[in-house]
Structure 1
């Protein structure tokens, strides 16, 4: 049975990561970052390896020809290896946006951002999977991308992910709610980190800080994103369905009314999530600007199961029609 390019590359990443994990006595994800860097640099960078290990790795790497893989093959195989590593890791913040959602966000960015070249920010970039999925679905457009991430290991994986796909992305290893020293961008995407933000002093700089107790990180991320997008720029957030049901939501509602226009809300199918509490939606807003007019009616969609291709196709046609009507 012929194996797919994704399986072929995953097997190589997995085998070489296992070899390095054993020899370096590190986690699978750390070993994956090491082997990814070796592949990109076309040399074995770890100095403490035995001769036998170096021989085994060389043999594997020499059988690999990256040029024959598409960006999506590279991304998917790397994603599979990361998912394997995340199953072993107990850190709750190591979550990855499912592929089907990433492709959907990519489709929406392509339709809404009607520019041949644009800048894009992901302030919670993680392993770079959502950002590179979106970049891979921009039809012939040039994307100048920025990713920010507080977790050292995740950003290392994101950087290798970008290098393997030859995406020029600038990465910042920092808490994205601290000042971001970047120019304003045309669009923002983010699978928002949900929960309380522990740094109350930092949160005090935000309009959306809680009146008492810890503030919601996802609210602060929305405000930080709006600060860093150009007037009329679009923002695409993956948000919990209960975004406007918390005790802090009236403040968020008021803030959005003052600074943005809600363009749409796409409820993702429940089948993608463990339970109803974990369910999410794609929330599309536009920063206020001179030419920006609210849509006659916001785009409200309940997405069918993403495995039902015909139904999804119908919905995407509806989305496309709505954009033509409202975006001229």
Structure 2
């Protein structure tokens, strides 16, 4: 049975990560960052490895023809390895956006952002999977990526991920809700971290701060993203379905009314989520600016199961019609 290029690449990444994990007594995810860096630098960077380990690694790396793989094949194989590592570590902040959702966000970015060169920002970049999924779909466009994450292991994985796929991405390891020293983005993509932001002093600088107790991190991420987006820029957020139903929702409504136009809300199929209260949607915003007008009507879509090709095609053609009427 012929194995696919993704499986072929995954097996080398996985095997070499296991070798480093055992030899260095580190977690699989840490070993994954190490082996990814070796592959990118085309050399074994770890010191004090046994001779046998070096030989085994060298043999595996030499079987690899990275140039014969597309960026998307590299992303998928690296993603499989990360998912394996996340199952082992099972940290709540180590969650990955499902591939089907990433591809859909990429499709929407391609439709809305028509510039041939632009800056794309993910303020909760994690391992860089959503950012690079979107970048891989913007064919014929030159994109500079930017990503921020507070988790140093995730940002290291994002760095290796982007390097292996040869994407120009700037990455910053910091609290995304602190002041940022970045250029304004033309577009933002983010799977919003949902929960409470523990730093009440910093939250005070935001319009969307809560009057009592901790503020919602996901609300602050929306405000922070808009602050670092150019006028007229687009933002694509993966949001909890109950975003506009919480007690803080009226304030969010008012804030969005002042700063942005809601272009669309696409509700993801409930079948994608184990529990209904974990269900999500994609929110599309456009930051207000000169010559930026509200759409005649907001694009509201209930997505069918993404495995139902015929229904998905029908929805995509509806989106095309909406685009033609509202652009």
Q: TM-score range by the shorter chain?
A: over 0.9
Count matched residues: 327
Q: Secondary structure at the match of 1:96?
A: coil
Superposed, 1:108-127 pairs within 5 Å as 108-127=108-127
Which residue in 2 is equivalent to 1:57?
A: 57
Show structure 2 runs of 5+ residues with no match: none
Q: Secondary structure at the match of 1:235?
A: strand
Q: Secondary structure at the match of 1:109?
A: helix
Give RMSD over aligned pairs: 0.6
Which residue in 2 is equivalent to 1:138?
A: 138
Alignment TM-score, normalising by the size of structure 2: 0.99
Which residue in 1 is equivalent to 2:107?
A: 107
Q: Is 1:254 matched with 2:265?
A: no
Q: Is 1:81 matched with 2:67?
A: no
Q: In structure 1, how many angstroms separate the alpha carbons of the residues matched to 2:14 and 2:139?
A: 31
Q: Secondary structure at the match of 1:297?
A: coil
Q: In structure 2, how many angstroms separate the alpha carbons of the residues matched to 1:115 and 1:39?
A: 33
1:325 CA drift (Å): 1.4
Q: In structure 2, how many angstroms separate the alpha carbons of the residues matched to 1:233 and 1:243?
A: 22
Which residue in 1 is equivalent to 2:276?
A: 276
Which residue in 2 is equivalent to 1:324?
A: 324
Superposed, 1:1-328 pairs within 5 Å as 1-327=1-327
Q: In structure 2, how many angstroms separate the alpha carbons of the residues matched to 1:142 and 1:314?
A: 30
Q: In structure 2, how many angstroms separate the alpha carbons of the residues matched to 1:114 and 1:252?
A: 28
Q: In structure 2, how many angstroms separate the alpha carbons of the residues matched to 1:320 and 1:25?
A: 52
1:139 CA drift (Å): 2.3
Q: Secondary structure at the match of 2:245?
A: coil
Q: In structure 1, how many angstroms separate the alpha carbons of the residues matched to 2:269 and 2:196?
A: 26
Q: In structure 2, how many angstroms separate the alpha carbons of the residues matched to 1:293 and 1:217?
A: 29
Alignment TM-score, normalising by the size of structure 1: 0.99
1:277 CA drift (Å): 0.6
Q: In structure 2, how many angstroms separate the alpha carbons of the residues matched to 1:318 and 1:160?
A: 38
Q: In structure 1, how many angstroms separate the alpha carbons of the residues matched to 2:9 and 2:287?
A: 41
1:183 CA drift (Å): 1.4
Q: In structure 1, how many angstroms separate the alpha carbons of the residues matched to 2:155 and 2:320?
A: 34
Q: Secondary structure at the match of 2:315?
A: helix
Bigger shift: residues 179-188 or 73-82: 179-188
Q: In structure 2, how many angstroms separate the alpha carbons of the residues matched to 1:274 and 1:142?
A: 37
1:90 CA drift (Å): 2.5
1:145 CA drift (Å): 1.0
Q: In structure 2, how many angstroms separate the alpha carbons of the residues matched to 1:308 and 1:233?
A: 32
Q: In structure 1, how many angstroms separate the alpha carbons of the residues matched to 2:28 and 2:139?
A: 35
1:317 CA drift (Å): 1.1
Q: In structure 1, how many angstroms separate the alpha carbons of the residues matched to 2:271 and 2:130?
A: 20
Q: In structure 2, how many angstroms separate the alpha carbons of the residues matched to 1:108 and 1:281?
A: 13
Q: In structure 1, how many angstroms separate the alpha carbons of the residues matched to 2:117 and 2:51?
A: 48
